[in-house]
Structure 1
Amino acid sequence: MTEPVRLSRRVTELMGCSRADAEQFIRNGWVSVDGQVVESPQHRVTTERVTIDPNAQFEAVEPATLLLHKPAGVDAIDGPHPATALVTPETRWVDDPSGVRLLQRHFHRLTPLLPLDRDASGLMVLTQDGRVWRRLTEDGDDIEHEYLVEIDGDLAPYGMARLAHGMDYRGRVLPPCKVSWQNENRLRFAIKGARDGQLRHMCAQVGLRVLSIRRLRIGRIGLGKGPDGAMPPGAWRYLPVGEKF
């Protein structure tokens, strides 16, 4: 009977490379066992057919950052219905332009960042990358977010000026922001350091009731558009290599 051996050992024998290089090829999804990609170097094989993708490249194992269009009613970070549960290989946006190869390891230990109201929808970030985590947490209040807010009611006198400058929320004086009408029912906010409930509070102070909130952009990164329009709720895409918030 053939004794089971680690997949990394079998790849080392097939490619004539070091064990470390074999493990890297496996983790990067270039190795299949009986036609199925296996990303674990510790996987045991006996008589199975092990093949290496002819397009295999020796490259660093980079952590992934995923951009999700969170639907309303889903918890961004804490809560019983977490957004992380929506991120699966099947929900990847078909028009994802990143060119990043999908790997199972990209779905492990994802950290959701930047709060978004449960009833709000739009762009949120889930990452394995410590550099992205530091950028969006340590410098988070310096990064501009863009929101589309659907409203109802009659705007109070000087309401736009008040929204743009001169409000406070939970004892904190709010920095100036940019507010404009997209149409008669929607306001567009470009704002830094927004907290949970802040946009609803701001609108209420000028006589407006918020019907919906959607985050369109975080820094330089937007939801994304494809041939069929914007990335739909529940879908996700990769943050392309080299792009920064």
Structure 2
Amino acid sequence: MTDKNPDPTHIRLAKRVAEQLNCSRSTAEQFIEGGFVSVDGQVVEAPGARVRPDQAVAVAPDASLLELTPVTLLLHKPVGVEAGLGQPAQGGAGQAAHASRSQGAPQAVTLLNPASHLAEDASGIRVLQRHFKQLECFTPLPTEASGLVVYTQDKRIARKLAEDIESLEQECIVEVKGDIAPNGLQRLCHGLSFNGRPLPPIKVSWQSETKLRFALKGIRPGQVPAMCEAVGLSVVAMKRIRIGRVPLAKVPEGQWRYLQPWERF
């Protein structure tokens, strides 16, 4: 339905819908991008698609611009993929890993597509192409770390993350190796310094023989590796599993889910 040299008898879908509904072209485009318009029984989300006069163009009876709300996507970023490092520094648990930017590493935003959507997503939101446009990330995670990264179209959520990321508790699982020093766990919880400044109390506990759980606020790049090194441990891997009250939940690496309406950071 899209040709470089279109047949003059074919018209843009947005124009056809505008004529059928007697509405503005911009309103027609919103209905199309909202997934409410079908051509010959197949939903088409591209306002610029061209249709023939004999093709049946239908607008869903329940079409409403009220449904066109912005969305927030929660991605489980794999190791080896960059996320948000092109944004102004906002802090974030993942930055605790070595934050050197890997040249040529793929961008996490490329994983946001219908094919990588979590099949068991409980949000009930219908996946649309417009959900992958104008996304912002305020929760950067370096290439060496994995875990939760937030991409949003919602200006309210963007403002919340930009302004409050320092005060939101972030939880991460850190795989370590080495022998921890005597009283090392207690020192991780309170008593260490970073960049010449004493660290506030932090929640640290063992998840297994090789994995520590960190829950902390205002984390700085390199902080967790430096803390571990101070007690005789070195970081093998790091995974962020929660930001504020929003968990990664059971999302496999490389997949994403929608933030549900009731979830709040």
1:219 paired residue among 230, 239, 244: 244
Distance 1:76 1:51, change over 3 A: same
Match of 2:35 among 26, 29, 36: 29
Tell me what 2:140 maps to: 115
Q: Secondary structure of the equivalent of 1:141?
A: coil
Alignment deviations for residues 16-45 of structure 1 (CA, whole Å, 9 cap, x no partner) = 453365343222111122444333445443
TM-score (norm 2): 0.81
Instruction: Give the corresponding residue for 1:92.
Output: 117
Choose from 150, 153, 177 the match for 1:125. Answer: 150
More strand by share: 1
Q: Find out whether 1:61 has 2:71 as its counterpart.
A: no
Identical counterparts, % of pairs: 49
* Structure 1 gap ranges (5+): 225-229
Q: Structure 2, unaligned stretches of length 5 or more?
A: 1-6, 86-101
**d(CA) in 2 for partners of 1:148 and 1:223?**
12
Aligned twin of 2:80: 73
What is the SS of the residue equivalent to 2:160? helix
Of 168, 175, 181, which aligns to 1:150? 175
Matching residue's letter, 1:158: N
CA gap of 1:185–1:22, structure 2 versus 1, over 3 A, is: same
Residue in structure 1 matched with residue 89 of structure 2 by the alignment: none
Distance in 2, matches of 1:62 and 1:156, equals 52
- Cα deviation, 1:57-88, whole Å, max 9, x if unaligned, reads 44242222110001111112235321111111
Partner AA of 1:18 in structure 2? C
Q: Post-superposition shift, 1:107?
A: 0.9
Report whether the alignment pairs 1:177 with 2:182. Answer: no
Aligned residues: 239
Q: TM-score, normalised by structure 1?
A: 0.87
Aligned mates of 1:64, 1:77 — CA distance in 2: 18
Q: CA RMSD in A?
A: 2.2
Q: What's 2:16 paired with?
A: 10
SS in 1 for 2:66: coil
Q: Secondary structure at the match of 1:8?
A: helix
SS at match of 2:166: helix
Indicate which of 140, 156, 163 corresponds to 1:138. Answer: 163
Equivalents in 2 of 1:42, 1:150: separation in Å? 49
